[in-house]
C-alpha cells in the first residue's frame, strides 16, 4: 500500500531534503525550498530482473553507428541554432517571456514539417482547440498531417503518442502537464521532473523528436527544477522585448551543435520571419558622426555579428554618480570606467554613465570591452569616431588590449558590410597582415585607442 509524506524541494536545482532549510546546500540559493507531498510505493523489480535478463556492457567498437539525417525545419535561423536541423529522438526545451513568440515559432515549425508529409502531434495544455485554430489562421494554411490534442494528463499524452507515433511532438507547456502517480500540483518540482523523465523516455525509445515549452521566472530562467535543463538535449531561450518587433533565439545548451548560437527573427502579422542579415538589421538607423556611438563585432557561436554600442557620459547632479547598462554587463561597465580613469586620465569619477547595446540583444563577451571603452571616452570628450570603423578587443586592468578569438571572421564580417577600418588588438593585427580589403589598426593599450580620437 502506498504511503504519503512530505519532502522539501529546491525550486532552483531540485535538491531534496526531509526538512526545510533557509539556504540550499546544492545551489547556495536562499528561500527556495517548497514543501510537496510524495507517494512512497513498494519497490518493484524490473521485468528484465524478474526474467533473469540483465544488460551486458559492450565495447565501443561493437556499437553500431548509424547516420541519421537531421530534419530541416525550413527556417534557416532555427536550423542554425539547432546545429543543422532537428535530430531524431532529441528532447528540446524552449523558454522565454510570455508573449515572446514560443508557440508561434513552434506552430510554424509544425506546419513546415507537416508539409513534407510527416505526422506531427501538437499537445496544448493552455489553449482550447478553437483558440489554436484562431492562432493557426493567422500563420497560414495547414494540412491534415498536423494533429492537435488538448490534454494535461501525462498518462493520456503518453498513450496518444504511442498510438499515433508521429515524427515530432510539441508539448505546450511542461508546467501544465501532471502525472496521476505524483500527488503534487502541476508545475511543481516533482511534476516537472516526472513529466520530463517520461517524455525523455518516449523520445529515446520511439525515436521521436519532442519540443517542450517552458515558462520562465522573473530572473529569465526556466521555471521549475534546474535538473530540467540537464535532462534535455537542447535548451533554447527567446530574448527580446515582446513589445518590439525583433526576437533573438539563443542556444545555451546543445548536445548536437555549438552553444551560444543565435537566430534573429522579426515578429510580423503573419508570424515570425527570419532575419538573414543580422548585422545589417542590428545597425539599422545608426546615427553617423555622433559621439558615444561605436560599432563592435561579437561572435555568437560560429556567427560574427556587428552591433552598435551607445554611451552617454554627463556630469552628475548628485553626490553619487549613476551608472546604468542595457544589454551589457553592468559590473563590466564600472570596471572599464575605473580603468579609463586610472590608465588614461579621464576624470569619470563624478559622471553619470549610460551604456546601451542597441537591438535589444544581451552580450557578455569580453571582446566588447574595447568598443565600450571607446564609446565612453567618445561621449566624455564629445568626439565622434569614424562611422566606417569597427572595434573589438578585450581590455585588462592594466589598460592593455588583449587578443580575442576568431579575429579573421570578425574582420571579414565588417568588410562585408562596407566598413573600411577595423581597430583590433595588436597581437591579432600581427597575424592578419594578409587581409588587404580593409585597413587594420592594431592597438596595444587604451592609450593607443584614445589617440585615434584626437
pLDDT of residue 52: 57
What is the CB neighbour count within 10 angstroms for residue 439?
Answer: 14
pLDDT of residue 286: 87
pLDDT of residue 42: 47
Which of 367, 428, 425, 415 lies closest to 389 in space, CA to CA?
A: 415
Q: How far apart are CA 185 and CA 62, in angstroms?
A: 45
Phi, psi values for residue 10, rounded to 5°: -80, 125
Strands 389-391 and 323-326: unpaired
Q: 440 Cβ partners below 8 Å, 6+ apart?
A: 411, 421, 422, 424, 429, 432, 433
Q: Is the pTM of this model over 0.85?
A: no
Q: How far apart are CA 281 and CA 174, in angstroms?
A: 33
Question: Which residues lie across from 58 on neighbouring strands?
Answer: none
pLDDT of residue 28: 83
CA-to-CA dists, residue 183 to 6, 38, 197, 272, angstroms: 10, 6, 16, 39
User: Which grid cell is 193?
Assistant: 521532473
What is the CB neighbour count within 10 angstroms for residue 31?
Answer: 11
Q: How far apart are CA 130 and CA 290, in angstroms?
A: 52
Which segments in the chain show pLDDT lower than 70? 1-5, 38-53, 65-68, 217-226, 242-244, 454
Alpha-carbon torsion, ordered 276, 282, 288, 290, to 10 deg? -170
Question: Which residues lie across from 62 on neighbouring strands?
Answer: none
Q: How far apart are CA 102 and CA 249, in angstroms?
A: 10
pLDDT of residue 399: 94
Residue that is written with C-alpha cell 545555451 in the block:
252
Amino acid at each position: 500500500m502506498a504511503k504519503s509524506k512530505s519532502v522539501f524541494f529546491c525550486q532552483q536545482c531540485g535538491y531534496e531534503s526531509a526538512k526545510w532549510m533557509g539556504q540550499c546546500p546544492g545551489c547556495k540559493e536562499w528561500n527556495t525550498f517548497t514543501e510537496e507531498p510524495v507517494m512512497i510505493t513498494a519497490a518493484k523489480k524490473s521485468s528484465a530482473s524478474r526474467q533473469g535478463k540483465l544488460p551486458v556492457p559492450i565495447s565501443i567498437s561493437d556499437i553500431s553507428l548509424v547516420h541519421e539525417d537531421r530534419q530541416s525545419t525550413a527556417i534557416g535561423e532555427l536550423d542554425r541554432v539547432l546545429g543543422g536541423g532537428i535530430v531524431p529522438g532529441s528532447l528540446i526545451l524552449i523558454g522565454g517571456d510570455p508573449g515572446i513568440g514560443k508557440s508561434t515559432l513552434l506552430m510554424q515549425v509544425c506546419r513546415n514539417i507537416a508539409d513534407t508529409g510527416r505526422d506531427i502531434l501538437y499537445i496544448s495544455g493552455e489553449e482550447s482547440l478553437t483558440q489554436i485554430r484562431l492562432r493557426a489562421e493567422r500563420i497560414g494554411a495547414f494540412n491534415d498531417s498536423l494533429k492537435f490534442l488538448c490534454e494535461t494528463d501525462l498518462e493520456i499524452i503518453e498513450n496518444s503518442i504511442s498510438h499515433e507515433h508521429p515524427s515530432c511532438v510539441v508539448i505546450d507547456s511542461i508546467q501544465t502537464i501532471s502525472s496521476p502517480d505524483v500527488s503534487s500540483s502541476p508545475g511543481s518540482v516533482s511534476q516537472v521532473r516526472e513529466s520530463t523523465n517520461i517524455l525523455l523516455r518516449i523520445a529515446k525509445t520511439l525515436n521521436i523528436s519532442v519540443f517542450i515549452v517552458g515558462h520562465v521566472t522573473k530572473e529569465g530562467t526556466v521555471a521549475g527544477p534546474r535538473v530540467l535543463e540537464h535532462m534535455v538535449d537542447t535548451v533554447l531561450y527567446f530574448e527580446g522585448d515582446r513589445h518590439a518587433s525583433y526576437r533573438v533565439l539563443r542556444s545555451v545548451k546543445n548536445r548536437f551543435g555549438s552553444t551560444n548560437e543565435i537566430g534573429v527573427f522579426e515578429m510580423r502579422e503573419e508570424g515570425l520571419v527570419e532575419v538573414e542579415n543580422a548585422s545589417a538589421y542590428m545597425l539599422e538607423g545608426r546615427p553617423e558622426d555622433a559621439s558615444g556611438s561605436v560599432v563592435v563585432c561579437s561572435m555568437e557561436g560560429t556567427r560574427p555579428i556587428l552591433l552598435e554600442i551607445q554611451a552617454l557620459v554627463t556630469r552628475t547632479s548628485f553626490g553619487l554618480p549613476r551608472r546604468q547598462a542595457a544589454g551589457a554587463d553592468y559590473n563590466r561597465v564600472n570596471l572599464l570606467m575605473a580603468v579609463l580613469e586610472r590608465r588614461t586620465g579621464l576624470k569619470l569619477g563624478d559622471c553619470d554613465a549610460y551604456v546601451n547595446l542597441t537591438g535589444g540583444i544581451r552580450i557578455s563577451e569580453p571582446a566588447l570591452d574595447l568598443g565600450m571603452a571607446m564609446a565612453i571616452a567618445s561621449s566624455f570628450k564629445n568626439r565622434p569616431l569614424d562611422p566606417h570603423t569597427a572595434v573589438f578587443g578585450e581590455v585588462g586592468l592594466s589598460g592593455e588590449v588583449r587578443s580575442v578569438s576568431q579575429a579573421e571572421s570578425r574582420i571579414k564580417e565588417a568588410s562585408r558590410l562596407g566598413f573600411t577600418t577595423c581597430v583590433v588588438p595588436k597581437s591579432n593585427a600581427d597575424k592578419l597582415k594578409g587581409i588587404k580589403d580593409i585597413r587594420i589598426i592594431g592597438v596595444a593599450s587604451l592609450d593607443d585607442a584614445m589617440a585615434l580620437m584626437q
